[in-house]
Amino acid sequence: MVTPKKTATGAERRAELLATAAEVFAELGYNATTVRTIADRAGMLAGSLYYHFDSKESMADEILSAFLTDLWAGYQRIEEAERGPRETFEGLVAESFRQMERHRPAVAIYQKEARHLAPQERFRYLADSQERFQKLWTRTLERGVADGSFRADLDIPVAYRFVRDTVWVAAVWFRPQGRKSAAEIAEQYTSMVLDGIATRPVAG
């Protein structure tokens, strides 16, 4: 007796199409990507794709909102733990890389497209997320300066931009199957940022 081949459910197929769309958006850019491009990559007719999504905007919206929902849930857990500034900093970096591992194409899309998409009503939450991100990291850095965990002469706005850019630019080169895991990279990152890369002089 031949066992019939199991077909993907509607939800599974939808998730597969979103994953394909995310890869295409990350590779080609939002404006250069069409529904036909995504359908071709998924091996289906463009008309069939409309059975699952009404537009490429809908796909981009779901991809980005899913990433940010997971990211902020993780950040909230770290804040609610009420740890010290250094431990909070380390936790936020680790969570950022963990979400990068889970949502790598979405992070790349967010990095490249958020500024252009945010003025649209449908994507207004992107600007809100950027503001929340700045407040969270700024608050953590200020706490560290206040309790002596971080240098008293730290320029908070510059430090925030450094942290933001150096964490998220990793989406360009990070690969989940690379030689180091997201957790290992996050540990290296926090070590370099908080402890530096120069050797310390040996006391004589």
pLDDT in tens, 140-151: 999 999 999 999
Which pTM value belongs to this model? 0.84
Select the more confidently predicted residue: 166 or 38: 38
Task: Pick the closest to residue 16 from 47, 39, 46 (CA basis).
Answer: 39
pLDDT in tens, 97-155: 999 889 989 999 998 899 999 999 999 999 999 999 999 999 999 999 999 999 999 99
DSSP state of 30: T
Flag the least confident range among 92-101, 156-165, 179-188.
179-188
- Whats the size of the chain, residue-wise? 204
Task: Pick the closest to residue 68 from 89, 90, 92, 96 (CA basis).
Answer: 96
Contact 118, 124 (CB under 8 A): yes
- C-alpha distances (whole Å) from 58 to each of 5, 34, 171 are 31, 12, 23
